[in-house]
């Protein structure tokens, strides 16, 4: 019984973590398109804004997105493993109940 409860808690925790990671990914602004100005009005405009975007922001945005994607996949992998472990624990619990009858 305790192993099933522990496995259920683990699955619940991982589901919550997966939801949080997905929400974080959704909240990251896209840096794929250049803006007409960066910073205070008039500070970075035109080619300077484009160069800053192309040389600095796109690479950082790509790294951030890739990192969050890897994190999401790792949590998803752990969740799938935990769900299988929960299934095994439930099967064992059912077998113990049947054997005890």
What is this structure's pTM?
Answer: 0.73
Q: Which of 6, 25, 9 lies closest to 73 in space, CA to CA?
A: 25
| pLDDT (tens digit per residue) in 4-37 | 999 999 999 999 999 999 998 887 776 666 555 5
Tens digit of each residue's pLDDT (9 = 90 or more) over 54-63: 888 888 888 8
Query: How far apart are the C-alpha atoms of 22 and 5, rounded to whole Å?
Result: 26
Pick from 1, 12, 7: which is nearest to 85 by CA? 7
């Amino acid at each position: 019984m305790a192993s099933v409860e522990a496995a259920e808690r683990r699955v619940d925790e991982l589901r919550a973590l997966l939801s949080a990671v997905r929400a974080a990914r959704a909240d990251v602004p896209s840096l794929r398109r250049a803006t007409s100005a960066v910073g205070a009005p008039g500070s970075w405009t035109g080619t300077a804004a484009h160069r800053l975007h192309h040389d600095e922001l796109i690479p950082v945005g790509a790294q951030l997105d890739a990192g969050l994607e890897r994190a999401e996949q790792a949590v998803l992998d752990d969740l799938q493993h935990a769900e299988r472990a929960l299934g095994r624990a439930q099967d064992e619990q059912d077998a113990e109940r049947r054997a005890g009858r």
